Amino acid sequence: MWDRLLSNALPPLLLALSITGRAVALDCGELPRVDDERLRGEIDVQGNLLSKRIGSAEFKTSLDRTRTDIFSKYPNADQTRLNERLFIYLCQSLAADKTLTESQKREELLRLRRQIDTPPRVETQPTFFVGHWLIVDPRTNQPFSTVELGLNGQFKGSSFGRNLGGPNGIGANFYRFENGVLKFVYIQGGRARVDEMLVGSVTAVSDNEFTFKVIGGYYGGGGNFSQEWVFRRA
């Protein structure tokens, strides 16, 4: 009964189970081939990070963020192959775990399979923010930086100046908007924590312009606190 249930739930080429009496040894199979060396390296690193969070309350959140981050960087990659490579890493971690019984490993593996098969939750942001923006200092009416905000929360930006991260920018890769507050954040796949790099209150001026007043974040303290900028659609 159990082995038939497993064979229906898990693709046989991805997970082989050798059954001896009541004991089940996990044989996770081969890692799916990924030709892009940089992509393969990133999947492997994130897979190792995720394997350390198996069974934790924040695992699904970390898994979703990992996949969203990788898919946004490599939009043309085979998502099925990426998912299965991550799954193999998780399976290998379970197989090596000396603290779990074989029965517990089987149960956890089925849970992981369901989580992998569930598409990551996409946090869409208000369409108002989507697009390219010039960041203007209202004192001079001159732009000092540019940002690109994506529908799924991706953030790309140039340097904000010496006191805001220097030439490498503020270090954000996503943005979030809620209750009148816009946050530029750094999210790392495989990690539940979200780093708030720059936070500001937002007031819409028109469809093509809004004001941003710095109220917090890693770069939002000191002399940067309470600075006010104008975002104008490029």
Hey, which bits of 101-234 come out as E strands?
131-137, 142-149, 155-157, 174-178, 181-187, 194-206, 209-216, 228-233
Indicate which CATH number applies to the domain containing 138. Answer: 2.40.128
Q: Which residue segment(s) compose the domain that 28 sits in?
A: 2-117
Is there a single domain that holds both residue 112 and residue 10? yes
Q: How far apart are CA 59 and CA 67, in angstroms?
A: 12
Task: Encode pLDDT of 12-64 as tens digits.
Answer: 434 444 434 345 567 788 888 888 888 888 888 888 888 888 888 788 888 88
Task: Encode pLDDT of 134-193 as tens digits.
Answer: 999 999 999 999 999 988 888 999 999 888 988 889 999 999 988 889 999 998 766 767
Is there a single domain that holds both residue 184 and residue 132? yes
CA 146 to chain CA centroid, Å, is: 23
**Has this prediction a pTM greater than 0.95?**
no
Is there a single domain that holds both residue 162 and residue 55? no
Q: Is residue 122 in some structural domain?
A: no
Q: How far apart are CA 208 and CA 129, in angstroms?
A: 9
Q: Exposed/middle/buried for 162, CB within 10 Å: 0-12, 13-18, 19+?
A: exposed
Q: How far apart are CA 96 and CA 99, in angstroms?
A: 9
Is there a single domain that holds both residue 96 and residue 157? no
Is there a single domain that holds both residue 110 and residue 146? no
Is there a single domain that holds both residue 210 and residue 171? yes
Is there a single domain that holds both residue 136 and residue 113? no
Q: Which of 117, 142, 162 is the last residue of a domain?
A: 117
Task: Encode pLDDT of 191-225 as tens digits.
Answer: 767 899 999 999 987 889 999 999 999 999 988 99
State the residue for tokens 């089925």.
110
Is there a single domain that holds both residue 85 and residue 177? no
Number of structural domains in the chain: 2
Residues 183-198: b if buried by 16+ CB within 10 A, e if exposed? bbbbbbbbbeeeebbb
